[in-house]
Chain A
Amino acid sequence: EVQLVESGGGLVQPGRSMKLSCAASGFTFSNYGMAWVRQAPTKGLEWVATISYDGSSTYYRDSVKGRFTISRDNAKSTLYLQMNSLRSEDTATYYCTKATTVGWFAYWGQGTLVTVSS
């Protein structure tokens, strides 16, 4: 059974940093691309970033380019999202997803809430 378990969320002040983690199990992590998708409170879904199976390629939405970094450790079956210079508009539940090369999100974690506020 595919399991994705996010951690690292919480309350952070604007301009500060936070790193999210996602522990994966139930599939061969190193064979699959992974992605982060976020959802602001009572809002819709928004793709954030994607990383290829080997970490050689990364993709970001424009609003987080230069501030967020997606990475992975295949030996630990763990996905990361380093978030710097956080803004109030980054407040959301962040979901770790098992992605596909053609762009849908096959499995989702339960999410971790990031609140950016002073």
Chain B
Amino acid sequence: DTVLTQSPALAVSPGERVSISCRASEGVNSYMHWYQQKPGQQPKLLIYKASNLASGVPARFSGSGSGTDFTLTIDPVEADDTATYFCQQSWNDLTFGSGTKLEIK
């Protein structure tokens, strides 16, 4: 299985820029996707195929990367962005990262 590695947690202040990374154990082309899960809610698709913004998602969110290294960027961060962010690849089977918990100070 392709293992996706994410940092466990980040803390930033409102108005700042934050980058959340996801590293794949093998290349996944551009088939990396990002989800936001707020406490007590279901996940929501933010970015598909590395850099495509999902419908209704604010332009403050962006994605980049290819191969094994990918980044989700939020700029500027808002208080409502408190959530866990998961990456997921669909190049080799379907696997998720363990999630990065984002705290807004």
Q: CB within 8 Å of B: which residues of A?
A: 44-47, 50, 95, 100, 102-111
**Chain B residues closer than 8 Å to A104, beta-carbon distance:** 33, 45, 48-49, 88, 90
Q: Are B42 and A44 in contact (CB under 8 A)?
A: no
| Main SS class of interface, B | loop
B33 CB → nearest A CB, Å: 4
A14 CB → nearest B CB, Å: 26
How many A-B residue contacts, CB cutoff 8 Å? 52
- Starting from the known contacts A45-B35, A108-B45, A111-B42, 6 additional A-B residue pairs (CB-CB under 8 Å) come to A45-B43, A103-B31, A103-B90, A103-B94, A105-B88, A106-B48
Provide the B3-19 mask, 1 if CB < 8 A to any CB of A, else 0.
00000000000000000
Which residues 60-105 in B have Cβ within 8 Å of A in the complex?
Answer: 86, 88-91, 93-99
B31 CB → nearest A CB, Å: 6
Interface centre among A44, A46, A50, A108 (most CB of B within 10 A): A44
Interface centre among B41, B43, B49, B91 (most CB of A within 10 A): B43
Q: Are A45 and B44 in contact (CB under 8 A)?
A: no
A105 CB → nearest B CB, Å: 6
A101 CB → nearest B CB, Å: 10
Q: Are A44 and B45 in contact (CB under 8 A)?
A: no
A2 CB → nearest B CB, Å: 10
Please report the C-alpha to C-alpha distance between residue A108 and residue B90 in the assembled complex, in whole angstroms.
17
Provide the B25-59 mask, 1 if CB < 8 A to any CB of A, else 0.
00000010101000001111100110000100000
